[in-house]
């Protein structure tokens, strides 16, 4: 076999770019020249960033260009992104109504931190807290308190920090050691929960997950992980892996019994990033919120099933007593006094306005129709996938409540009542069936994800949490914008792609195993928009580690 050299597209481009620049002998300054006089040209493509002069990427240019050209350059650059509506990997809403968008544009410069300057915005913020508290059954007599945040990640950190501080205060009052706090969560926990433990120096105690526990926190193992140093438990209402709700009420009962026997009071923080806007409208009989006295705080993402643009989270504590007073800052800022408990300060206020717009525009009936429609679409996709015989669904919202296995040749239920089925998010998580893998061992599940990406869909293929990491799943998140036509085409494309792979040469298929990972490893430019959410880097990726392992733990995918 002959030796081969690595070909660098960047070097080839620069070489021919310089050659073209030398032979052209021309420079453009943004104007066309006619008879010695400058003539303005309206086209945004006639400017000094021509085919032989790349736009600035890593250094601030000495001179800029006109606003129209700058817009067109960036607009064209963003054409390389995928279509948000076909990003079926994300829980984040990708649709904003025109009126909501207009409100956002009209208020885009308002700072949520400036309460004295924008009192109407602050009032809208308070109304949103009250509305969320009411749908989560907070009691007005307990004086619930809460705040908007930058997504659920900040909200989770605030909830965890409040639990840690309450535990410390109680231990100090009793004259006990406060140096070894721990927090309990399932191994399926979203990365923000683990970040809290690492950033705020709390021991992370992960409860293993399994098929028997629906790939979520196993309530039967809770008592094996708690003790007097446990500051609380994170319980997830809607796992990002399979969409299952973790059993909040069951865990609460276990902790009630534990307190009765030991005197140790362990609170619950519910991470309802997605479920906080699904359960109230689709699963009202599922008890998970402030109806349980042990639930001290709840977070949710307004930018997920709250149907707001990216960047908005919420957290509410059941009472003022649940939030230690010395965590609250009183700030004299820009002429007013503001109470604050956040990790951020200045931030946009238009997302809060969008949330309030949704509340008064949709109301309970509107949210109920939208969320039930998403669940209905998710059930349809699940039933289609399993009926092919190619796939097995790990998500269970399409199965009658209490049933957890697919039964071939049984007609799918057609009830439109979400309470008839297993509770969960509008998520479809599936894998190749055992029979399929036996019949077509050359077909790799990751190849299905890759070939669907060619068609424009972003559907991830990734492993389940530790102890189940040998099982990989494909996952689709059904959102408001999933129409019946798109869903039908998606079903067709999944089947077509799978059958194309069945008929393909096994050797050719090996090249499709993990192409995106390979491209990222070989890339000369740091890619900030990966699922790992790396820090933005200057220059090249040559200094990046060659593996996703980290000396302090493991990287986890996020929603």
Q: What is the pLDDT of residues 505-557, one digit of tens each?
A: 776 655 655 555 554 444 444 433 333 344 444 444 344 444 344 333 443 55
Question: Following DSSP, what letter does each residue of 378-430 receive, concatenated?
Answer: HHHHHHHHHHTSSEEES--TTSBTT--S--TTPPPP----GGGB--B-SEEEE
Residue pLDDT, tens place only, 139-167:
999 999 999 999 999 999 999 999 999 99
Give the pair of three-digit tokens for residue 135.
């749908």
pLDDT number for residue 496: 96
pLDDT number for residue 539: 40
Residue 448 pLDDT class (50, 70, 90 cuts): very high
* % of the chain surpassing 70 pLDDT: 80
Judged against a pLDDT cut of 80, whether residue 191 lies above it is answered with yes
Residue pLDDT, tens place only, 359-403:
999 999 999 999 999 999 999 999 999 999 999 999 999 999 988
Judged against a pLDDT cut of 70, whether residue 279 lies above it is answered with yes
pLDDT number for residue 330: 75
pLDDT number for residue 411: 65
pLDDT number for residue 73: 87
Residue 414 pLDDT class (50, 70, 90 cuts): confident
d(CA 156, CA 272): 10
Give the pair of three-digit tokens for residue 182.
């721990």
pLDDT number for residue 407: 74
Q: Which of 179-188, 222-231, 301-310, 497-506 has the lowest mean pLDDT?
A: 497-506
pLDDT number for residue 115: 80
Distances (CA, A) of 230 to 166, 250, 487: 11, 18, 45
Per-residue pLDDT averaged across 105-113, rounded? 94
Distances (CA, A) of 215 to 236, 335, 468, 488: 12, 51, 8, 28
Judged against a pLDDT cut of 90, whether residue 306 lies above it is answered with yes
Q: Do strands 145-149 and 182-186 pair parallel, antiparallel, or not at all (unpaired)?
A: unpaired
10 Å CB burial of residue 337 (0-12, 13-18, 19+) is exposed
Only one residue has tokens 């059993």, namely: 247
Residue 276 pLDDT class (50, 70, 90 cuts): very high
Residue 36 pLDDT class (50, 70, 90 cuts): very low
Per-residue pLDDT averaged across 471-492, rounded? 95
Helix (H, G, I), strand (E, B) or coil at 282: helix
Q: Which of 171-175, 471-475, 524-528 has the lowest mean pLDDT?
A: 524-528
Question: Following DSSP, what letter does each residue of 506-559 receive, concatenated?
Answer: HHHHHTTSSHHHHHHHH-SS----STT-PPP-SS-STTS-SSSEETTEE-----
Residues 119, 123, 125, 129, CA torsion sign: positive
* % of the chain surpassing 90 pLDDT: 66
Other Cβ atoms less than 10 A from the Cβ of 57: the count is 7
Which alpha helices (H) appear in 222-262, and where do they start and end? 248-262
Judged against a pLDDT cut of 80, whether residue 35 lies above it is answered with no
pLDDT number for residue 328: 80
Residue 406 pLDDT class (50, 70, 90 cuts): confident
pLDDT number for residue 327: 83
d(CA 194, CA 184): 10
pLDDT number for residue 52: 60
| Prediction pTM value | 0.85
pLDDT number for residue 555: 39
pLDDT number for residue 298: 98
Per-residue pLDDT averaged across 479-508, rounded? 90
Residue pLDDT, tens place only, 245-269:
999 999 999 999 999 999 999 999 9
Residue 232 pLDDT class (50, 70, 90 cuts): very high
Per-residue pLDDT averaged across 206-214, rounded? 94
d(CA 151, CA 292): 24
């Amino acid at each position: 076999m002959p030796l081969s050299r690595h070909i660098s597209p960047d070097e080839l481009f620069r070489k021919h770019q310089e050659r073209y620049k030398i032979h052209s002998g021309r420079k453009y300054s943004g104007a066309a020249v006619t008879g010695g006089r400058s003539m303005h040209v309206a086209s945004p493509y006639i400017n000094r960033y021509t085919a032989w002069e790349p736009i600035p990427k890593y250094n601030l240019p000495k001179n800029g260009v006109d606003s129209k050209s700058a817009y067109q350059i960036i607009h064209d650059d963003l054409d390389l992104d995928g279509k948000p509506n076909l990003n079926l990997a994300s829980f984040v809403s990708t649709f904003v109504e025109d009126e909501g968008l207009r409100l956002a544009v009209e208020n885009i410069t308002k700072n949520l931190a400036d309460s004295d300057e924008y009192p109407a915005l602050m009032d809208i913020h308070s109304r949103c807290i009250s509305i969320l508290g009411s749908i989560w059954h907070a009691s007005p007599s307990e004086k619930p308190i809460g705040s908007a945040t930058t997504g659920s990640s900040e909200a989770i950190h605030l909830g965890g920090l409040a639990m840690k501080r309450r535990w410390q205060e109680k231990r100090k009052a009793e004259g006990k050691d406060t140096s070894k706090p721990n927090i309990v969560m399932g191994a399926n926990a979203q990365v923000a929960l683990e970040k809290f433990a690492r950033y705020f120096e709390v021991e992370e105690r992960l409860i293993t997950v399994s098929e028997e526990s629906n790939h979520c926190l196993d309530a039967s193992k809770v008592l094996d992980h708690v003790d007097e140093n446990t500051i609380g438990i994170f319980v997830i209402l809607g796992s990002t892996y399979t969409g299952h709700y973790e059993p909040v009420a069951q865990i609460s009962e276990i902790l009630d019994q534990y307190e009765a026997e030991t005197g140790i009071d362990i609170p619950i923080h519910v991470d309802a990033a997605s479920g906080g806007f699904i359960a109230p409208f689709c699963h009202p009989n599922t008890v998970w919120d402030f109806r349980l006295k042990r639930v001290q705080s709840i977070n949710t993402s307004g930018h997920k099933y709250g149907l707001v643009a990216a960047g908005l989270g919420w957290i509410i504590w059941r009472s003022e007593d649940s939030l230690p007073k010395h965590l609250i800052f009183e700030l004299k800022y820009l002429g007013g006094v503001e109470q604050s408990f956040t990790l951020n300060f200045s931030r946009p206020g238009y997302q809060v306005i969008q949330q309030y717009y949704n509340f008064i525009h949709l109301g309970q009936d509107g949210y109920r129709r939208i969320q039930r429609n998403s669940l209905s679409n998710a059930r349809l996709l699940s039933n289609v996938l399993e009926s092919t015989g190619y796939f097995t669904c790990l998500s269970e919202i399409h199965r009658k409540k209490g049933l957890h296995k697919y039964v071939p040749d049984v007609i799918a239920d057609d009830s439109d009542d979400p309470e008839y089925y297993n509770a969960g998010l509008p998520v479809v998580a599936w894998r190749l069936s055992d029979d399929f893998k036996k019949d077509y061992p050359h077909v790799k599940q990751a190849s299905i994800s890759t070939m669907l990406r060619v068609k424009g869909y972003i559907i991830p293929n990734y492993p389940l949490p530790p102890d189940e990491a040998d099982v990989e799943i494909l996952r689709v998140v059904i959102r408001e914008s999933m129409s019946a036509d798109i869903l039908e085409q998606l079903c067709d494309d999944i089947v077509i792609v799978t059958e194309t792979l069945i008929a393909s040469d096994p050797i050719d298929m090996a090249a499709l195993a993990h192409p995106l990972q390979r491209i990222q490893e070989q890339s000369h430019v740091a890619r900030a928009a990966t699922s790992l959410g790396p820090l933005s880097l200057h220059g090249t990726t040559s200094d990046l580690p060659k593996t996703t392992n980290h000396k302090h733990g493991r990287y986890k995918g996020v929603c």
